[in-house]
Amino acid sequence: MCRYYDQVIIGDSLEVLKGIDSNSIDLIITSPPYFQQRDYGNRNLGIGNENSENKYLENLFEIFYESVRVTKLTGTIVYNIGDKYLNGGLSLIPYKFAVRAIESKKVFLVNNITWAKLNPTPRQDKRKLIQSTEPFFIFAKTKKYQFSLENYLKHLDELNRKQGIPSKKLGRTYFELIANSELTKTEKENAEQQLNKAIQSVYKREISGFRMKIRGIHKLAYGGQAGGRNNQIINNGFTIIKINGNKLKKDIIESPVEITKDNKHPAVYPLYIIQELIKLLTEEGDIVLDPFNGSGTTCLAAKNLKRHYIGIDINPEYVNLAKNRLKHNKYEQELFI
Ligand SMILES: C[S@@+](CC[C@H](N)C(=O)[O-])C[C@H]1O[C@@H](n2cnc3c(N)ncnc32)[C@H](O)[C@@H]1O
């Protein structure tokens, strides 16, 4: 049992993390201050205001390695870092961070999720496109990391199911292709039979869709090397690729930038994304820790989802803000559980 359960702590993360047992946290999820981006009212205390990018990364890595140490072997570490224009060009700091992290061999990168901002900050610069994405890097310590794909963006599955009434024309093109193909009579009969079965599975909602590949019409997979599907195409004349009930879950998530007029923190990340990642990477009762807690978005998401939380911030004002937010649960959006 961790002594900081369900608490928001004032302090330097490096020091606080040193007091937490190794392999005791299920998920670290955080957004550190970006390099020279903002003054959080702790200019000489926290990280972000270093004179050089290298020094910034060095300080960030001290905390990152402690984050890794306290994470369980089944746990994950998610860092969201934004990029910055320096001398007119993008610095790619988030990616330098991710490369160094994987080169350390302490973790591997499970996913690089792109947050696509629906309302990015407009800029006057006519010689650049508007920056509207930020990465969320998911790192793991071992291959045993928890990952509940079925819980991630579940509300969208339901939406898709409701909207996805199959068309009456489903499979018609494939019947025509089979009829005009080079397949033998028996192969054609077999292909039509299997195609009918796949269509029925879609109507019965057992699968959400399928693709068919027919010999002489479609290309073999991966340049044609021998393998399960290619063998089916060569030997039977066709293959059917079933698409499961879940729509493809991609490494991109859309969400507006948080606009929470009552929240005085200047860099709040979206509760929605954090909730989805907590659902993906933990179970009820697990412990979620944010070493750069700010206004406490991570703690709030964890609390809403019945996980334990630990938040750490160097700035006492933000710690109070987070505690208040947790107590009153205001400014918050609808929960999609
Ligand atoms: C980008 S903000 C996090 C915002 C948060 N995700 C939210 O939604 O409100 C980064 C926070 O890290 C804190 N910070 C900077 N250096 C720190 C350190 N060494 N230890 C703990 N907190 C630190 C800052 O005070 C700031 O609140």
Tokens linked to 9 = 């702590």
- What is the SS3 assignment for 214? strand
Residue 63 CA, closest ligand 1 atom number: 19
List the residue whose alpha carbon is closest to atom 16 of ligand 1.
46
Q: How far is the CA of 32 from the centre of ligand 1 (A)?
A: 6
Mean residue pLDDT of the chain comes to 88
Res 333 pLDDT > 50:
no
Q: Clarify whether residues 254 and 113 are in a common domain.
A: yes
Q: Tens digit of pLDDT for each residue in 90-138? A: 999 999 999 999 999 999 999 999 999 988 888 888 899 999 999 999 9
Instruction: Report pLDDT for 96.
Output: 97
Q: Clarify whether residues 38 and 129 are in a common domain.
A: yes
Residue 32 CA, closest ligand 1 atom number: 10
Q: Clarify whether residues 198 and 257 are in a common domain.
A: no
Q: Write out residues with Cβ below 6 Å of ligand 1.
A: 12-13, 31-33, 40, 42, 46-47, 265, 267-269, 292, 294-295, 297, 312-315, 318
CATH number at residue 117: 3.40.50.150
36 C-beta neighbours (distance < 10 Å), count:
17
Is residue 2 in a domain?
A: no
Which residues partner with 275 through β-bridges? none
The residue out of 243, 266, 284 marking a domain boundary is 243
Of these ranges, 35-39, 87-91, 329-333, the one predicted with the greatest mean pLDDT is 87-91
> What is the C-alpha to C-alpha distance for residues 308 and 288, in angstroms, rounded to an integer?
6
Residue 198 domain boundaries:
163-243
Is residue 257 in a domain?
A: yes
Q: Clarify whether residues 111 and 224 are in a common domain.
A: no
Instruction: Report pLDDT for 46.
Output: 81
List the residue whose alpha carbon is closest to atom 15 of ligand 1.
46
Q: Clarify whether residues 211 and 89 are in a common domain.
A: no
Residue 12 CA, closest ligand 1 atom number: 20
List the residue whose alpha carbon is closest to atom 7 of ligand 1.
268
Residues found in the chain? 337
Instruction: Report pLDDT for 334.
Output: 41
Residue 42 CA, closest ligand 1 atom number: 25
List the residue whose alpha carbon is closest to atom 13 of ligand 1.
292
Q: Clarify whether residues 177 and 323 are in a common domain.
A: no
Q: How far is the CA of 185 from the centre of ligand 1 (A)?
A: 68
Q: Say how many Å lie between the first and final Cα of the chain, rounded.
A: 27
Q: Clarify whether residues 16 and 96 are in a common domain.
A: yes
Q: Higher-confidence residue: 9 or 265?
A: 9
Q: Higher-confidence residue: 87 or 287?
A: 287
Q: Which of 81, 258, 292 is the pocket-test mutation for ligand 1 (most atoms within 8 Å of CB)? A: 292
Q: How far is the CA of 48 from the centre of ligand 1 (A)?
A: 9
Of these ranges, 31-35, 71-75, 255-259, the one predicted with the greatest mean pLDDT is 71-75
Q: Clarify whether residues 237 and 124 are in a common domain.
A: no
Judge contact between 5 and 310, C-beta under 8 A.
Answer: yes
The tally of domains found in the chain comes to: 2
Is residue 23 in a domain?
A: yes
Is residue 335 in a domain?
A: no
Tokens linked to 298 = 């991570």
Q: Tens digit of pLDDT for each residue in 228-250? A: 788 899 999 999 988 775 567 89
Q: Clarify whether residues 222 and 296 are in a common domain.
A: no
The residue out of 219, 243, 267 marking a domain boundary is 243
> What is the C-alpha to C-alpha distance for residues 217 and 238, in angstroms, rounded to an integer?
10
Query: CA angle 155-161-162, nearest 5°?
Result: 95
Is residue 142 in a domain?
A: yes
> What is the C-alpha to C-alpha distance for residues 294 and 40, in angstroms, rounded to an integer?
9
The residue out of 208, 243, 278 marking a domain boundary is 243
> What is the C-alpha to C-alpha distance for residues 307 and 282, in angstroms, rounded to an integer?
8
Q: Clarify whether residues 285 and 222 are in a common domain.
A: no
List the residue whose alpha carbon is closest to atom 12 of ligand 1.
292
Q: Higher-confidence residue: 208 or 58?
A: 58
Q: Find where tokens 């290298």 sit.
A: 54
> What is the C-alpha to C-alpha distance for residues 186 and 56, in angstroms, rounded to an integer?
68
Q: Residue 79 burial (CB < 10 Å; 0-12/13-18/19+)?
A: buried
- What is the SS3 assignment for 236? helix
Is residue 334 in a domain?
A: no
Q: Clarify whether residues 148 and 273 are in a common domain.
A: yes
pTM as predicted: 0.79
Q: Clarify whether residues 220 and 106 are in a common domain.
A: no
Q: Higher-confidence residue: 259 or 218?
A: 218
Is residue 43 in a domain?
A: yes
Q: How far is the CA of 61 from the centre of ligand 1 (A)?
A: 15
